[in-house]
Amino acid sequence: MEEAVREACALLAAGEVVALPTETVYGLAADALNADACAKVFASKERPSFDPLIVHIASRGDLARVARVPEDIQEVVGKLADAFWPGPLTLILPKQDVVPDLVTSGLPTVAVRQSAHPVFRAVNKKLGNPIAAPSANRFGRISPTSASAVMKELGGRIPLIVDGGACSEGLESTIISIEPREGKKPLFYLHRAGPVTKEMLQDFGKVEKVRQKAGDLPHAPGQLPSHYAPVTPLRILENPRDFKPEPGRKYGLLSYRGEPDDAFVRCHAWEQVEALSPGSGKLAEAAIRLFYAMRVLDEAGLDEIIAEPLSEKGLGLAIMDRLRRAASRD
Ligand code: TXA
Ligand code: MG
């Protein structure tokens, strides 16, 4: 690990990009204060310049270097950081001038979080600068939750991938912005559902979903209708009784539990079935395995992937969000 951290830091300090594990998904890292390095992140991912990057800080003390915390939300930001940092919660805050406009796509705000992954934290600390890191996939594609998935997405395009094993959360961080309210708990706008659930945030404020109007500049292109998408078309099947297979086409099932007596498993002679949480059905396990299972089915030579919907409670909200975007063709 020491050697990997040293090598990653040397490359980052030289203005290069490096793929690093985080607890959510693998990130494509660059020195967040070096605009040329961050430009390489956009180029390697083929990411459009209107899609801003998340900035990762090594310690709470570094927050003030990249973001300004308005006085009327200082208390709640402190509470959220105590509760969820280091971890999968990203806060959108007014940016400091040192953060290049390229990183925030010209927005006056910056998205900030502190990663909990030991490798990422070690690199972040040793580098001494905040790290900009979007998910290490090509734009619009499935986020990588293992080093081999990064290799498939970006192999040959970047100088180093650090293998830190499988990600322990499996879904990208929850993203919120905060609006203070006189005499009441603040309002949290949920820009992206993630491992820190709505239910977990409700202890600290009122959670509201961000609604985007057609033609709006995306607040979070993770919110573009089509994102996290396999190459194979994916469809969510609400009711297994409605499934009408076309002759000659190969279908695979993305199942929650994958049990033989399950109505979704039984409704068709599937070419392949991938279970998100085999047997008992646990949402945390389904979150960890979602992108992996989507990749496996995407590589299985199918004509279509059929996904079973999950209840939108707790982590189910983030899982269904990713499935809907994977299913969208817009
Ligand atoms: O878990 C994660 O957040 C992972 C790991 C690597 O940390 N990163 C990640 O980054 O998912 P990315 O780039 O795939 O998604 C970041 C999202 C984008 O949809 C982007 O639009 C949004 O964060 N974002 C970044 N800055 C923003 C800002 N100032 N305002 C609104 N949204 C912002
Ligand atoms: Mg992404």
pLDDT of residue 119: 98
Q: What are phi and psi of 76, to 5 degrees?
A: -70, -35
| Distance in Å, CA 175 to ligand 1 centroid | 7
| Distance in Å, CA 246 to ligand 2 centroid | 33
- Ligand in closest contact with the CA of 55: 1
Distance CA 22, CA 133 (A): 10
Q: Ligand 1 site: residues with CB under 6 angstroms?
A: 22, 24-25, 27, 51-54, 88, 90, 92, 104, 107, 109-111, 133-135, 172-173, 175, 191, 219-222
What residue spans of 110-239 are helical by DSSP H? 118-127, 147-154, 198-201
Strand ranges for the chain from DSSP E: 18-20, 27-31, 54-56, 89-94, 109-113, 131-132, 174-181, 184-192, 206-209, 234-236, 251-255, 272-275, 304-307
pTM: 0.95
Closest atom of ligand 1 to CA, residue 51:
21
| Distance in Å, CA 222 to ligand 2 centroid | 6
Q: Which strand (E) or helix (H) includes residue 296?
A: helix 283-298
Cα separations in angstroms, 206 against 135, 184, 189, 190, 195: 28, 9, 9, 10, 17
Cα separations in angstroms, 304 against 151, 227, 229, 230, 251: 24, 17, 13, 10, 5
Distance CA 312, CA 190 (A): 15
- Asked if 174 and 318 touch (Cβ cutoff 8 Å), the reply is yes
Residue to mutate (ligand 1; options 68, 90, 104; most atoms within 8 A of CB): 90
For the chain, residues with pLDDT lower than 50 are none
Contact residues for 142 (Cβ-Cβ < 8 A; gap 6+): 149, 228, 229, 230, 291, 294, 295, 298, 326
3-state secondary structure of 81: helix
